[in-house]
Amino acid sequence: MDVVISKTYEELSKAAAQLVVDLLNHKPNAVLGFATGSSPVGLYKELIRLHKKEGLDFSKVTTFNLDEYVGLPADHPQSYRRFMNENLFNHINVPTQNTHVPSGTATNHKAFCEWYEKQIRDAGGIDLQVLGIGSDGHIAFNEPGSSLGSRTRMVTLTEQTLDDNARFFKKKSDVPRHAISMGVGTILEARQCLMVANGKNKAPALAAAIEGPITSMITASALQLHPAVTVFTDADAASQLKMREYYDWIRKQAQAGN
C-alpha cells in the first residue's frame, strides 16, 4: 500500500486527482469507481477544475458508484445520485448514460444487485476505485462483520454510521437504515484503488486499516490484500500511523527518482 501524507486537505485532494489524470492520460475510456461523502469532495473539485481549465476529458469515461441509500429516489436532496450530479457529473463532460449509481428505489434488491455487478463486468471492470473510510473502518457501506468476499447487496447501517451521516440530514431518524453497497469482494476486483482520508476522527480507523490485522471488523483492512492501493491522507488522519516516517521516507525517495 502506498501512503501519501499531505499537510492539507487541498494538497491531498490534488495529489489524489493526479492519479485519475495519469489513468485518463493512458486510458481515456477508463472505468472509474466513485464514492460519496465529504472525503472525496476536494478531489472532485480538482477534477472539475482540471476539466474546465486544462481540458481533462471525461467523454469516454464510464463510472460506477459504491452505494446508495435504500428508499431515497434519485432526486432526493440526500441521495448519492444527486450528490454525484451536484459535486461532479454536472460539471464535467461525462455522458449521463455512462454514469451508474445503485438505485435506492429498486424493489427486487437481489436482482438489482446482480444486474449492477453485471454492468460492472460488461464495462470491463473498474480501473480505479475511489474510496473514503468510515470512522468504523468501513469501505463503501461494508460495516464491521461484512464478509471480505461480499458482493453488491443490501446492507444494514450501524449506529455509528447513522450518527456520522446524521449531519447531512435534518435529524438522525431521517438517515435511511439500509443501503445498496458494492461488496468488499467487488471493490477488491478494481484494478487500482485510491483512498482519501482526512480529519482526526478518521485516525483510529485509518491506522487499523493500514497497519492492523486484516479483519472483517475493519473492512478497509481488506485493501492490504490488494496489489495497487494508494492512500491519500492529511496529517490529522495520519496521526496514529506507526510507520508514518517510513511512508514519508519512501515518498521522498520516489520524488527524488530513487
Using CB under 6 A, pick the residue from 42, 104, 134, 176 that binds ligand F6R. 134
| 125 φψ region: left (φ > 0), alpha (ψ -120 to 50), beta (else) | left
Cα(145)–Cα(157) distance, rounded to whole angstroms?
11
Of 68, 117, 127, 143, catalytic: 143
Using CB under 6 A, pick the residue from 35, 120, 128, 241 that binds ligand F6R. 35
Which grid coordinates are listed for 238? 495520519
Mark whether 136 is an active-site residue.
Answer: yes
Mark whether 26 is an active-site residue.
Answer: no
| Residue where the block lists cell 467523454 | 59
> What is the DSSP code (8-state) at residue 237?
T
Cα(100)–Cα(62) distance, rounded to whole angstroms?
8
CA 4 to chain centre: 16
Q: Is 137 in the site for ligand F6R (CB under 6 A)?
A: no
Query: To the nearest whole angstrom, how small is the minimum distance from the Cβ of residue 84 to ligand F6R?
Result: 9
Q: Is 38 in the site for ligand F6R (CB under 6 A)?
A: yes
> What is the DSSP code (8-state) at residue 106?
-
| 239 φψ region: left (φ > 0), alpha (ψ -120 to 50), beta (else) | alpha
Nearest 10 degrees: Cα torsion 175, 179, 184, 185:
180
Residue 5 or 66: the one with the smaller Cβ distance to ligand F6R is: 66
Residue 30 or 133: the one with the smaller Cβ distance to ligand F6R is: 133
Binding mask 114-133 for ligand F6R (x = CB under 6 A): ------------------xx
Mark whether 143 is an active-site residue.
Answer: yes
Mark whether 67 is an active-site residue.
Answer: yes
Q: Is 42 in the site for ligand F6R (CB under 6 A)?
A: no
Of 67, 68, 117, 234, catalytic: 67
How many beta carbons lie within 10 A of that of residue 177, not counting itself?
A: 15
Residue 178 or 251: the one with the smaller Cβ distance to ligand F6R is: 178
Query: To the nearest whole angstrom, how small is the minimum distance from the Cβ of residue 235 to ligand F6R?
Result: 17
Nearest residue to ligand F6R, using CB?
Answer: 132
Using CB under 6 A, pick the residue from 5, 113, 139, 210 that binds ligand F6R. 139
| Residue where the block lists cell 464491521 | 144
Q: Give phi and psi for 105, each to the nearest 5.
A: -115, 5
Q: Is 103 in the site for ligand F6R (CB under 6 A)?
A: no
CA 92 to chain centre: 19
Catalytic positions are 67, 136, 138, 143
Residues near ligand F6R, by CB under 6 A = 35-39, 66-67, 132-134, 138-141
